[in-house]
Each structure stands twice: as C-alpha cells, then as structure tokens.
Structure 1
Amino acid sequence: MKRSISIILIVILIGGIGLFFWQKNSADKAVTSTQGSRRRNMTITVNKSSLEETISGSGYVKPIEENSLSFASRGATGGEIEVIKVQEGDRVEKGQLLAEIDSDDERLDYLSAKNNYEQTLISGSKTEIEEAKLKLEIAKKSLAGTKLKAPFTGIITEVAVEEGDYVESNDTVVQVIDNSAYEVEIDIDESESRQLKLGQKARITMEALPGEELRGEVVDISAIAEEDSGVVTVPVTILIKDEIEFIKSNFSAEVEIIVSEVNNKLMIPLTAIFNEKGQTKAMKIVDGKEVPVNIKTGVSSGVYVVVLDGLVEGDEILINAHNAGTTNAQNSKQGFGGPFPPGGMGRGRK
C-alpha cells in the first residue's frame, strides 16, 4: 500500500514539474510571438508619389529601313556585273552608284531612239512625235536600269556578287540599311494588348549596353495577332529615340512600355491593405491604436497602389496590415499558461 502511495506521489510530482515547464515555455513563446508581432507591425506615413503601370516584352533591334537591292528594282532584265563601286561597311548617300551591269545593248537602243525622236520632230506628225518620244523614254529608263543606286543614305551590310558575275533581275546584289535610327519589335500577350496605344513611351535595355536605359516610343501596333503553339501575341514596334553609335542590328533588347502613369497621388504598399467582408481596408494608427478604415484604391504597380479615398497625406498606417491582423487575432485567443496539451496530464490509480 505504501509502495502504491509512493508511486502515485512520484507520478504527481513529475507531472507537476512537467506542467510548470510546459506553461513556462508556452509563456515564453507567447511573449516572443508578441515581441515579434510588434516588430512586424511596422508603420509608414502616407505620402504622395508617382506610379507607372508597364507591360514588358523582349525582341531584337532592327534598322528602321533595310533593303536587298537587285536590278529588278531598276527595270533591268539582268546581265553581267561590269563594276562594283562599294564594299561591306561603306557608308553611301542616297542616289550614289553602287553597281553596274553591261549596258552596251541598252546604250545602243537609247541612241537609236534619241536619233529617231530628233528626226521625227522635224518631219513627223503629232502622233508620230508622241510615239517617238515614248520610245525614247523607255530606252532611257532601260539604260538607267543598268545602274544600281542607293535608295537612301545608309550602310552597305553585304555585297553578294563580284565583277564578272552574271545575275538575273531578281538576284540580290547588295544589302543596305538606314542606320540613322533603330527599332525593336516585341510580342505582347493578347490579354495585355488592349492597353497599347501609339505614342506610348517605353524604356529599352540591352545586354550589349549594360547600365544604359534608352528612350523609346510605340510607333506600330499590328492589326493582326499571331499564334504560336497556342500562345496568341500582338507584334508591337518601338522606335529607339536615342542616338547610340554602338547599336547594331540584331542586338537583343528588353522593353518596358508605360501604359499608364499617375503623378502626385497618395500611394501605399499593397501589403498595407486587406479585405474584410468585401471591403478594402487599411489599418490606421489613431492615438496609438490600430483602427481599420475603409479605403478606395486605384491603379496598382503590383507593389504599390494609389489611394483615392479613405486616407489623407500624413496618416500613419501599418505596412503589413493583413499579417498584423491575423497575428493579433491569434494572440488574443492564447492566454498565459494556455490549454493543456492533447490528452491532458496522466493520473495514477487510487
């Protein structure tokens, strides 16, 4: 009997010691949680600022104009390359001679038509004069077609033939680009395309130009969307507004298009708002106490949001209102000592 009583007393003593340390540990955790909550419940002062909403895309740099030149553009039927006047990398002016094919036949035709026209002017009828004049113009155009000239000022990027080569009318002879300005074509997801407008500003960065940010402008929005593997996008062209000598065709580029912006408006972090019963709220500090207030919000950047109503400049609010509210609610349910662990304390038999 005495042995049973001793065992019961030892069990009770051990249980009491365990309860003491469990309660103390729970209390320490509660204090730590409260202190952590206070640290987390940081406040900020509501101020006015500016906000941008952007959509992004990536693409490659292209010159505003590039052309693969052939003698077909000059009306010629082709022939042997007689002379090449340029090489890759040359800068050319509009109208400058680039290449020429053998023109003996065209020159003879021109001289014959010219002579016929001059003779017809002396003795021919009005109709004959008009016919002779038309033949002269055709012959003159054919002769001019044997000379390939630059359609605009730019840079020769390729010379595809050599002197002595025979070319058909559609064979590329040289390629030329207008390097006075460049543009970037990017693809914007169809879900964001409604926000696009001509003239919108953009920011452009390139791996080839680390640390530099170039100005851009939306100059073209395709009227037709494109589909690739189930993804639908809209091609958008952005003109690079800055003149940078080092830019080259086919550089990769990242573009941010500014689709909306607000200036001098009240703004708070998105973490400072929470939803309660369908109402957007913020936690305002009034006389040292946290008071939830209804607010109306506007455009958001994904990090900050414009406040249209409910707060004024200078108000102090919690920066993490949702988390703070959750933590406070949990702490209010847990008193010092707390509930017993599941199963309660063990008891000895009588």
Structure 2
Amino acid sequence: MLAIRSGYKDALHELQNAEFNLKATKLIAPFSGKIATIKSKQYEHINAGTEVMSLINDKVFEVEFYLIESEVSEIAVNGEIQIKPFALNKTYQGKITTINPQVEKDGTILVKAKVKNDGKLLEGMNVKVYIQKDIPNQFVVPKTAVILRQNQEVLFTVKSGKTYWTYVQTTNENSRQYTVIPHPDKSSATLKTGDTIVVAGNLNLAHDTEVAIKSLKTNK
C-alpha cells in the first residue's frame, strides 16, 4: 500500500523502460570488423530498418572472379589460388570456397575464394587471380629464358661452352614460369632433363656462341 501511494512501482517501471530503450540505442555487431560508409549523424532520428552504415569483416576477404566454361574443370573447392592487388606489390594465398553451378549468359562461371588479410587489403580492391595447379612431367623454365626470334619462341641451351637455340612452344604459365615443349614442327628442336638453359643475357645472344656460366650467389 505504501509502495502504491509513493509511486515507487510507477517510477521503477519507468526506470526499467528507460534502461530498455537505452540498450536499444546500441548496435551490437555479429563480428569484429571495421565500420564504413556511415549514412547517419550522431543524435539523428532514424526509422527502424534504416541502413546506417556498413560493417566489414576485414580479417578474411572474399574474392570473386569468373572463368570460362572450359577452365572450370581445372579447379575444385579448396583448391589454392594466389591474388595480387594492383595497388600492392605483394601476393596472398587463398582457397576456393564455391563454384557457381550456373553458367552466365556470356559463358562464364562465378568462382569465390577466401583470403586472409594482413591489414593491408581493403574492401573493393581490384586484384589479379592466379590459379595454382600442379602439372606433372613438364619442362619448366623461367619466363626470362624464352625469347622471340623471327616471331617464334626459342630458348638457348649450353653444351660444351657453346649456345644452341632450340625452338619451343609454351604450353602453360604462371607469374614467373613457362612450361615448354620442343617445337613439334622443328625436327632439330630437342629438350631433355638436365639440359643447361640460359635464363639471362640472352636477348642479343646468337646460336653457336661461346659463353661462360656464372654461378648465382645466394644469401644464407
């Protein structure tokens, strides 16, 4: 009776409502990240359901890219990729997470992968994607080893201190290397395991030229 006359219960109810409303003014994110694209100001009145900002999970980013139909058979979920942002001189490792089972009208297929962020990647960055795949039983040479002569691909082998050019065809490539085969239309084109290949200083090199092999110094 005393509580009713004093207004204690009404005051307690108002306090509880105020505390509830105060909690409702806080937005709790489902994950840690960074806020971007804030669309409202402090103390501004907004309606329920209004978008006020974007929240970015910057620990892991999703990369989207497209492949043509004939290339999709070469990849699989959990396959490894590398990305290189155009704005950064650095590559990042990632893994394919989904391959869309539907082909787009232009004949491409959407592929998604996830990449861990070291703090330098930003949402919306443009990147170059490299698909990593092991190709067994191939001759692999640095890209610098293959040059053009008369619009044909050649590389130089070294035998008994002299250079011999060999016509080749490049079959696959990554950012640093080619896989090559002896040119099928050139009977003199041969490559075998253990051949010494010229990988530098070959732009002006001629056939049947004496050369000295220089050992590369490595930092230990």
TM-score by length of 2: 0.53
Residue 266 to residue 156, structure 1, CA distance change in 2 (3 Å): closer
Correspondence list, 1:297-336, <5 A: 301=172, 304=179, 319-320=182-183, 322-324=185-187
Q: Quick one: which amino acid aligns to residue 125 of structure 2? A: F
Distance in 2, matches of 1:226 and 1:259, equals 24
What SS is found at the alignment partner of 1:192? helix
TM-superposition CA deviations, 1:278-333 (whole Å, max 9, x none): xxxxxxxxxxxxxxxxxxxxxx5376368xxxxxxxxxxxx4452347xxxxxxxx
Partner of 2:132: 258
Distance in 1, matches of 2:42 and 2:114, equals 38
Residue 148 to residue 191, structure 1, CA distance change in 2 (3 Å): same
1:244 paired with 2:125, answer no
What SS is found at the alignment partner of 1:322? coil
Partner of 1:118: none
What SS is found at the alignment partner of 1:191? helix
For the 8 Å contact 1:185–1:235, the answer to whether it is kept is yes
Partner of 1:119: none
Root-mean-square deviation (CA, aligned residues, Å) is 3.3
Partner of 2:86: 207
Distance in 2, matches of 1:266 and 1:186, equals 28
Q: Quick one: which amino acid aligns to residue 250 of structure 1? A: G
Partner of 1:235: 110
Residue 189 to residue 148, structure 1, CA distance change in 2 (3 Å): same
Structure of higher CA gyration radius = 1
Distance in 1, matches of 2:118 and 2:49, equals 34
For the 8 Å contact 1:110–1:143, the answer to whether it is kept is no
User: Which ranges of structure 1 fall in alignment gaps of 5 or more residues?
Assistant: 1-106, 112-139, 270-299, 307-318, 326-350
Residue 235 to residue 109, structure 1, CA distance change in 2 (3 Å): farther
User: Which ranges of structure 2 fall in alignment gaps of 5 or more residues?
Assistant: 1-12, 142-170, 189-220
Residue 301 to residue 155, structure 1, CA distance change in 2 (3 Å): same
| Bigger proportion of residues as strand | 1
Correspondence list, 1:127-276, <5 A: 144-210=23-89, 212-227=90-105, 231-241=106-116, 243-262=117-136, 265=137, 267=139
For the 8 Å contact 2:138–2:179, the answer to whether it is kept is no
Distance in 2, matches of 1:164 and 1:183, equals 34
TM-score by length of 1: 0.35
For the 8 Å contact 1:205–1:254, the answer to whether it is kept is yes
| Bigger proportion of residues as helix | 1
